[in-house]
Chain A
Amino acid sequence: NAGVTQTPKFQVLKTGQSMTLQCAQDMNHNSMYWYRQDPGMGLRLIYYSASEGTTDKGEVPNGYNVSRLNKREFSLRLESAAPSQTSVYFCASSPGTDPSTDTQYFGPGTRLTVL
């Protein structure tokens, strides 16, 4: 059981470039999340998916798109990267469809730098 995996671990982009962060979970969880973590800001939710085919915006969705490809995979795309998107990105999953009580299981993170 690998849990939640994320690729890549590190990435450096130039302003304006695009990229997709990949996330997969092997726990048969229904819900998946994308967060960004910035110093002194804690975790902020970018997007959430309660099930395959559904996605909802979180606190900071601007500049990002997501795709829930199937139950296992939830990708995050930056269409035109900006320096303000330099951050550590975490993917998480939880078993049910009620995020208010579920335990979230986090991946190891992707450290992204935009120059």
Chain B
Amino acid sequence: AQSVTQLDSQVPVFEEAPVELRCNYSSSVSVYLFWYVQYPNQGLQLLLKYLSGSTLVESINGFEAEFNKSQTSFHLRKPSVHISDTAEYFCAVTVSGGSYIPTFGRGTSLIVHP
């Protein structure tokens, strides 16, 4: 079974600074990868996902993630964060071709300071 590790439980950063939220997975087969965001007191919503094709995936609000098969990683980056990006970010992984439900990581709390 696949598993996903989010190494940082909390990432504090100042507004307009760059940020990287790390996600590593363990699977010996092809995978699909997701990032979800949870704003305070809300449910999760999809930020971006990798299914196939280009290994660089972008979201509409400036985040991007790169699938690195050799490193088994799918790190999330943003070159300049805003206060409004303060939220919990969850990485999720599933094995391709098997109709499996994604497994979620434990989450990383991004705290943007003014």
A48-B104 in contact (CB<8A): no
User: Quick one: CB contact mask for A21-49 with B, threshold 8 Å, 1 for yes?
Assistant: 00000000000010000001111110010
Chain B contributes a number of interface residues (CB within 8 A of A) equal to 26
Bound state CA distance, A68 and B94, in angstroms?
24
Q: Name the CB-closest residue of A to B101.
A: A99
The main secondary structure of chain B at its interface with chain A is loop
Chain A, residue nearest B1 (CB): A59
Contacts of A45 in B (CB 8 A): 101
B95 touches A104 (CB 8 A): no
In the bound complex, how far is the Cα of B9 from the Cα of A65, in angstroms? 31
Q: Which residues of B contact A (CB under 8 A)?
A: 6, 9, 32, 36, 41-46, 49, 51, 90, 94-102, 104-107
25 A-B contact pairs sorted by A residue (CB < 8 Å) = A4-B43, A42-B6, A42-B90, A42-B104, A42-B105, A42-B107, A43-B44, A44-B104, A48-B101, A58-B101, A92-B44, A98-B99, A99-B99, A99-B101, A100-B32, A100-B94, A100-B98, A100-B102, A101-B32, A103-B49, A105-B45, A106-B45, A107-B43, A108-B42, A109-B42
